[in-house]
Amino acid sequence: MPPAAVRFEHATLAFQGHTVWRDLSVAFEAGSFVAILGPNGAGKTSLLRVVLGAVALDAGRVEVLGGPARRGNSAIGYVPQHHGFDRDLPLRGRDLVRLGLDGHRWGIGRPDRAADRRVEDAIRAVGAQEYADAPVGRLSGGEQQRLRIAQALVGEPRLLLCDEPLAHLDLRHQREIADLVGGWQRRTGQTVLFVTHDINPILPLVDRVLFVVRGRWAAGAPEAILTSEQLSALYESHVDVLRVRDRIIVVGDTADAGFEIEEPHHLPHVGGERHATEAPR
């Protein structure tokens, strides 16, 4: 059995007295593509921040690439939640990618052919050559997201963390970004943790699913976790999981509105305490 890239053991995270998730024990094998699913506020982003070493667990332990989670681990690539860059920000796509390579180093940075080449390769790998010299704030969401992925991959990470990289993108761009990440993962055999509301754009890529709902969690192969029984148990309420063509649709039972058909990227909140476990970002 290959060693785990990320392993949680009895891990509990709380924010201001609210438990985000508790007693999480799960190991993600090196080389796997893991989807982290759950409604808003389930602590998906916090989970990535724990892996990044930016947030400490309240109990239990986490192991990342064979060691403790620590800040500035250069073996980790990170694509944060998309917020868009200011239109006038004096930064080209190329500069954004370059920061991913040596932005953490002190000094001004001297001309470095080898670094230039790595940046160029990363830009080409995501197909961003056309607009790599444009101000990054003037690019579309999909273009910015490609550059962000190039930024995360330019350091040749062994673990890639993506936080909702498909949010705010249309279907075509969702598929393109998913293919970029999936293609990289297959080519290099590295590990991806992919936080998303909607599993459908990445369904063919996913090996494992971690589903988090209001402090509870379930992990396993997608076909084992994304079932009516599993999700009903997690939500403590009746949930139907439908497979329509190649898509998975989750239909929740909400206390106020009776049955409500929701898009899968709006997984149901159950009951009245919507924000009971919402974690600050």
List interacting residues with other proteins (CB under 8 A).
52, 54, 71-74, 76, 78, 80-81, 85, 88-92, 95-96, 99-100, 102-109, 130-131, 133-136, 138-140, 143, 151-152
Residue nearer to other proteins on the CB measure, 151 or 196:
151
Phi, psi (5° rounding) for residue 146?
A: -60, -45
C-beta of 194 vs 217, nearer to other proteins: 194
Considering beta carbons, is residue 76 or 234 the nearer one to other proteins?
76
CB-wise, 50 or 166, nearer to other proteins? Answer: 50
Rounded distance between C-alpha atoms, residue 123 and residue 16, angstroms: 41
Please report how close the Cβ of residue 120 comes to other proteins at its closest, in angstroms. Answer: 16
Q: In the complex, what is the shortest distance from the CB of residue 92 to other proteins, in angstroms, rounded to a whole number?
A: 5
* Among candidate residues 197, 190, 150, 207, the one with its CA nearest the CA of residue 174: 197
**171: number of Cβ within 10 Å:** 10
- Shortest distance, position 185 Cβ to other proteins, whole Å: 19
Q: Minimum distance from CB of 152 to other proteins (Å)?
A: 8
